[in-house]
Amino acid sequence: MAKRNYNIAELRALDVAHHLPAHQDYAMMRDIGGARIIVEADGCYIQDGDGVRLLDGMAGLWCVQVGYGREELADAAREQMLQLPFYNTFFKTAAPPTIELAAKISGLLGSHFSHVFFNNSGSEAVDTVVRIARYYWQIKGQPKRSIIIGRVNGYHGSTIAGASAGGMKAMHDQGGPFVPGFEHVMQPYAFGEKRDDESLDEFAARAADAVEQRILEVGPDNVAAFIGEPVQGAGGVIIPPAGYWPRIEAICRKYGILFICDEVICGYGRLGSWFGFQHYGVTPDLVSMAKGLSSGYLPISAAGVSSEIVETLRSAGSDFVHGFTYSGHPTCAAVALKNIEIMEREDLVNRTASVSGPHLARLLRDLADHPLVGEARSLGLIGAVEIVENKATRRRFGGVEGNVGTVVRDLCIKNGLMVRAVRDSIVMSPPLVISRSEIDSLVGILRQSLDEAAPVLRERYAEGA
Ligand X SMILES: Cc1ncc(COP(=O)(O)O)c(C=O)c1O
Which residues contribute to the site for ligand X (CB under 6 A)? 121-123, 126, 155-158, 162, 229, 233-234, 262, 264-265, 290
Name which of 67 and 228 has its Cβ closer to ligand X: 228
- Nearest CA to 278 out of 110, 114, 156 is that of 110
Name which of 121 and 295 has its Cβ closer to ligand X: 121
Residue type for position 403 = N
Least gap, CB of 416 to ligand X (angstroms): 24
Least gap, CB of 173 to ligand X (angstroms): 19
Task: Give dist(CA 276, CA 270) in Å, integer.
Answer: 8
Name which of 76 and 422 has its Cβ closer to ligand X: 422
- Nearest CA to 210 out of 197, 231, 226 is that of 226
Distance, C-alpha 337 to centroid of its chain: 20
In whole angstroms, how large is the CA radius of gyration of the chain?
Answer: 22
DSSP structure class, residue 354? I
Name which of 59 and 408 has its Cβ closer to ligand X: 59
Distance, C-alpha 69 to centroid of its chain: 22
Least gap, CB of 318 to ligand X (angstroms): 28
Task: Give dist(CA 89, CA 306) in Å, integer.
Answer: 20
Beta bridge pairs of residue 258:
225
Name which of 335 and 363 has its Cβ closer to ligand X: 335
Do strands 182-185 and 147-151 pair parallel, antiparallel, or not at all (unpaired)? parallel
Least gap, CB of 302 to ligand X (angstroms): 12
Task: Give dist(CA 329, CA 45) in Å, integer.
Answer: 29
Least gap, CB of 401 to ligand X (angstroms): 21
Task: Give dist(CA 381, CA 63) in Å, integer.
Answer: 11
Do strands 420-422 and 417-418 pair parallel, antiparallel, or not at all (unpaired)? unpaired
Name which of 229 and 389 has its Cβ closer to ligand X: 229
Least gap, CB of 66 to ligand X (angstroms): 18
CA distances from 186 to 12, 172, 214, 226 (A): 41, 16, 10, 13
Give alpha helix (H) positions in 195-243: 200-218
Task: Give dist(CA 273, CA 348) in Å, integer.
Answer: 9
- Nearest CA to 59 out of 258, 314, 280, 268 is that of 268
Name which of 305 and 363 has its Cβ closer to ligand X: 305
DSSP structure class, residue 356? I
Task: Give dist(CA 264, CA 276) in Å, integer.
Answer: 10
Contacts of 26 (CB under 8 A, 6+ apart): 20
Name which of 62 and 135 has its Cβ closer to ligand X: 62
Q: Kind and range of the H or E element at 373?
A: strand 373-379
Name which of 407 and 426 has its Cβ closer to ligand X: 426
Name which of 98 and 123 has its Cβ closer to ligand X: 123
Task: Give dist(CA 125, CA 261) in Å, integer.
Answer: 11
Least gap, CB of 51 to ligand X (angstroms): 29
Contacts of 137 (CB under 8 A, 6+ apart): 143, 144, 145, 146, 224
CA distances from 98 to 77, 224, 260, 436 (A): 13, 29, 23, 35
Least gap, CB of 156 to ligand X (angstroms): 5
Do strands 258-262 and 286-289 pair parallel, antiparallel, or not at all (unpaired)? parallel
Least gap, CB of 136 to ligand X (angstroms): 20
Question: Which residue number is nearest to ligand X in terms of Cβ?
Answer: 122
Name which of 245 and 397 has its Cβ closer to ligand X: 245
Name which of 225 and 443 has its Cβ closer to ligand X: 225
Least gap, CB of 444 to ligand X (angstroms): 27
Least gap, CB of 274 to ligand X (angstroms): 16
Least gap, CB of 158 to ligand X (angstroms): 6
